[in-house]
Each structure stands twice: as C-alpha cells, then as structure tokens.
Amino acid sequence: MAETKVAPKTIRVEVKRQATPETAAFVEKFEFPYRSGMNITSLLGEIAMAPVTTEGKQTTAVTYDSNCLEEICGSCAMLITGKARMACSALVDKLMAETKDGVISLAPLTKFPVVRDLAVDRSVLFENLKKVQAWVPIDGSYDLGPGPRQFPQIQEERYPLSNCISCTICMEVCPQFNEATGFVGAATIAQAKLFNMDPAGAVLKEERLRALAGDGGIQECGFAQNCVQACPKQLPLTEAISDMGRDVFVQQVKDFFAR
Amino acid sequence: MASVAAPAPPSNQHPIKGVQPLRAGEGNSFVLRRLHSLTGIVPIGAFLVEHIISNIEIVHGPLAYAQQVKFLNGLPLVRVLEWAFIFIPLAFHALYGVYIAIKGRPNVNVYPWAGNWMYLSQRVTGILALAYIIQHLYFQRFTGVSLPEHPGLAYWKVQYELSNPLMVAVYVIGMVVTCWHFAYGVWLFAAKWGITPGDRARKKFGWVCGVFGTVLCAAGLWSIIAIVNAPAVPFEDVMPAQQPGVMAPTVPVQNESQQQPPLTQQQ
C-alpha cells in the first residue's frame, strides 16, 4: 500500500473521447512511465507523442483547446478527475494523491457542446459578452483624444475583474447555468461590472444593466457560490453579482417609473 | 443612391447548441424572481415571525392562546388581510419556488462546498415546508373546528392534533425546515439585492441570520413542547361566543371569594 504512494511506477489516465459532435463518446485508457512535476498539458503531450492505449491499440492524439499553457488564455478548461479546472495548472502529482486509485480521468466540460474529444464550443460566453457590450466604446471616425482619468481606487477594484480569462469554469460549476434557465453566468456579470466601472465604459452602463435584466439574466443566480470557489483566477465573482444585482434593480425601478 | 437603407444582411452566425445566450431586455423573469425574493421576506417571513410569537401564548394556557387567536381574528378586514398578505403571496412564492427548484441542476456530489450545500438545502427545505404548510392549512385552517368562529377551542384543536406522535414529528420537522428556509432566505435576499456585496459583510450577516433562525426555531419548538407536555384539555370552548354587539370581558369573572371588583366597561 505504502510503496504505490511513495513511488508510483506509472501514470494512468482515462480520457473521455468523441470523434465528432454527433458520434457517441467512449473512454480510452493510457499508461505512461511516471515522471515527477507533470501537468495535464504535458500528460496530453505524452499521449500525442505515442497515442497507444493500455490495450495496445493505436489511436489518435487527444484534441483539446490550448494556447498559452500558463493559465492566462483560458482555453484548456476541462473536467479533470471529475472537476472543472485548467489542464495547464492541474498538477499530476497532486491529482494522483487526490484520487483513490491514482487514475486521472479527463473529460470535456459538460455544459457546452463537444466539438471533438476535450474541445468544446464555448461561444455562448462570447455571445453573452456581446449582449452586455463588455467593451469601452471608443471606435469612431475621428480622434476622441485621451481617455478620462481613472483613480487608483477604481483601478484597484477593477483590476481583479480584468483578470478573467473566459475559461467558463464559473459557468460549468454553476447549478443554475443550464439549458432550462439559460443563465448568463458569473463571468459575463463580472465583465459588465468591470466596464461599468470604467470612466469611459460607463457610458453604456444603463444598457448593460437593462441587458442583464432579460430572461437568463442576473436574477437566475442562486448564490451557490461555486463560481467564486472554482475560478482559477480568484475573481470576486459573488461580489460582482451582488453589486450588479443592486444596480440592475435600481435601473429597473428607474425605467419602470420613467416609462 | 437608394433612399432607403438596405436591410441588414442575414446573420452569418451559426445557431448555438446547448445553453442559450442571454435574452437581453426580453421577458419578465427579473420582476418575478425579485418578487419571489421579496414576498419571502414581506409578507410571508413577517407572518412566520408573527405566527411563532403568537404560538408562545400556548405556554400561558388555553385561555391566553384563545385570546391571541381572537385578537388576530378581530383585526379589521381580517379575511382580506389573510388572503392579500398570506395566502396569495404564499401561493405565488411556493409555486414560483417549485418552478425555480425544478430548473436548477444541483451538483453537490461533484462540488461539495458549503454554499453549494446551502443552495440545495434552500430548495429541499422549501419543498418540505410547502408540503408541511399544505397539510397544516388543510387540517388546522380549512377543516375541523373553525377557529375564527370558536377561538376558545384553538388550544384543544392543536393539542388534539399533536396527540399523535407522528404529527409531532411532522410539526418539529416543519418548524425546523421553515425557519431554516426563512433564515437563509434573508441571507440570500441581502446577497442578491446587493445589501451585503462584500465577502466579509456576507460572512457577518450569515452569523446574524444563523442566530436569528435558531432563536426563531427554538421559540417555535418551545410552544410545540409546551402543548404536547401540558395536561390534555377537554373539548370545551374556553371562550364561548358572546352575544353580538356586546363588549363582553374576555377574562372570565373571578371567584366571588377573591373579592375582586366586577369587570365593567373601561373608562
């Protein structure tokens, strides 16, 4: 019992795979000689170098989204031992200690349509960010000049929100983010707050608040607070939802009496 | 040049599968959801507090309890108050609450975190409280002796109901889940309406709600224990109906030997 914990000889992985969005999913098992200090990205690299299953069957490299490999692009979110996290920052040694049998399971996120293997289509987040106009409107046909002054206190409050990497883990872990509610998710609400607090972005504040009162908006939040627990970048998501909940309500009251 | 702008080109965007994007500015679920949150506090939560405080009169015996029942039923337009501030808001809160609960996908098996358990508990306690309230209303409000007309039988009716150990269990569970649902509901209200946005504020207010819920539940359980342990009262109206139009005293006249002045109209 003790020797397997101290010196594991191999790393065993189970990958849930799917060739196309329509075909059925299946699981493939892989086993590699143990090497310390690996993460899931390097593990998937090992598979890509020699894509042979434990049974000796020749297969293909596992498809997954990745780009920066240092938890800054938000691409490689997946279910690792059943929980949503980033492949780049998930460490194999920790995961093997975490699981009972030492087998690391990889699966695609469950709330988004699978494209292939571990790659999913997360364009719903992009659409949501467009709906709340999560940007500073500075495009124009002439030079708008320098931007307005931003006080350090505002910068300090905005900076943690600007760390969002659009990985969609907050949405994956949310019990309210599903097809029945069509909830917008914590990331979009936090980005709406980020741009509402921008001195120039605030020009669209009311439109963002009205958008978030639509069906699937901020009201669908059930405050399970999974988002803030799971967020790999530690965004103050529940605080953003609370603050935006108040602002959306005030805007709705204003609109009701101004109509 | 065309005088009318060309129509917008067809969207080249492929339809999204799975969870749909935000329907910005569409629908009225925001109003309904906020109304659901508000009705839980006022009037339903306020009524729960009133009900539990009124129940404490049980400790003072059948007559004191009867007087409390009579006082509440003597409020002006009491039947209108009952429907407008209890039944209708409660029905809305309950039905919309079930609708909310059905749409959620609890995942505490994967993410066993405190907030996630509380999310699940709010749905479970809500449904249990609804089941409790339905039977409570049916047996205590709409069937059996009508207490608005015979407040003097209130104590007997409750004690008789709780003479069944199974019903005692139902009432204890009902009290705990209702107070739990209300106390956490107050916390959720403050969090969602932006009253306690910060983590520290939410943590502190969590203690406030926890203590409040515990005290409320203890008060409710106290009256259950009191009436279960009290000697059984006979089926007898402790406050018989008065003749209409007579301002009769609701305190029974004491024994002559006690030499008390007769109760007359107060000056």
Domain locations along chain B = 30-232
Residues 87-126 of B with CB under 8 A from A: 100, 102-107, 110-111, 113, 115-116, 118-119, 122
Nearest CB neighbour to A243, from listed B20, B118, B197: B197
Tokens matching residue A10: 């191999």
Task: Give the pLDDT confidence score for residue B246 in this predicted structure.
Answer: 54
Identify the CA nearest to B158 among candidates B49, B72, B57, B75.
B57
Residue B263 pLDDT more than 60? Answer: no
CB contacts, 8 Å: B116 with chain A: 175, 224-226, 229
- Beta pairing class for A26-33 and A83-86: unpaired
Side-chain half-sphere exposure of A70, counting CA atoms within 13 A = 1
> By CA distance, what is A228's nearest residue in B?
B115
CATH of domain B30-232: 1.20.1300.10
Q: What band does B267 get if pLDDT is binned at 50, 70 and 90?
A: very low
**B21 interfaces chain A, CB cutoff of 8 Å:** yes
Show pLDDT as tens, one digit a residue, over chain A (259 residues). 444 455 688 999 999 999 999 999 999 999 999 999 999 999 999 999 999 999 999 999 999 999 999 999 999 999 999 999 999 999 999 999 988 888 999 999 999 999 999 999 999 999 999 999 999 998 888 888 888 999 999 999 999 999 999 999 999 999 999 999 999 999 999 999 999 999 999 999 999 999 999 999 999 999 999 999 999 999 999 999 999 999 999 999 999 999 7
CB atoms near residue A146 (< 10 Å): 6
Residue B87 pLDDT more than 60? Answer: yes
Nearest CB neighbour to A252, from listed B30, B116, B198: B30
Question: Residue B57 class from Cβ within 10 Å (0-12 exposed, 13-18 middle, 19+ buried)?
Answer: buried
Residue B256 pLDDT more than 80? Answer: no
Distance set, CA B235 to CA A167, B171, B229 (Å): 68, 22, 17
Distance set, CA A171 to CA A46, A224, B102 (Å): 30, 12, 18
**Amino acid found at B240:** P
Residue B170 pLDDT more than 90? Answer: yes
* Mutant choice from A176, A225, A227, A237 vs B, greatest count of B C-beta within 10 A: A225
Structural domains present in chain A: 2-120 (3.10.20.30), 123-258 (1.10.1060.10)
**B15 interfaces chain A, CB cutoff of 8 Å:** no
Tokens matching residue B121: 């508990």
Give the distance from residue B87's alpha carbon to the nearest chain A alpha carbon, in angstroms: 24
Give the distance from residue A50's alpha carbon to the nearest chain B alpha carbon, in angstroms: 32
Nearest CB neighbour to A221, from listed B102, B192, B199: B192
ipTM over 0.85: yes
Nearest CB neighbour to A223, from listed B22, B102, B188: B188
Beta carbons of B56 and A248 less than 8 angstroms apart: no
**B188 interfaces chain A, CB cutoff of 8 Å:** yes
Contacts of B172 (CB under 8 A, 6+ apart): B221, B224
CB contacts, 8 Å: A221 with chain B: 192
B105–A252 CB contact, under 8 Å: no
**Amino acid found at A239:** E
Long-range contacts of B141-150 (CB under 8 A, 24+ apart): B147/B69, B147/B73, B148/B73, B148/B78, B149/B241, B150/B237, B150/B241
Run of H or E residues at A114: strand A114-116
Give the distance from residue A249's alpha carbon to the nearest chain B alpha carbon, in angstroms: 8
Give the distance from residue B104's alpha carbon to the nearest chain A alpha carbon, in angstroms: 5
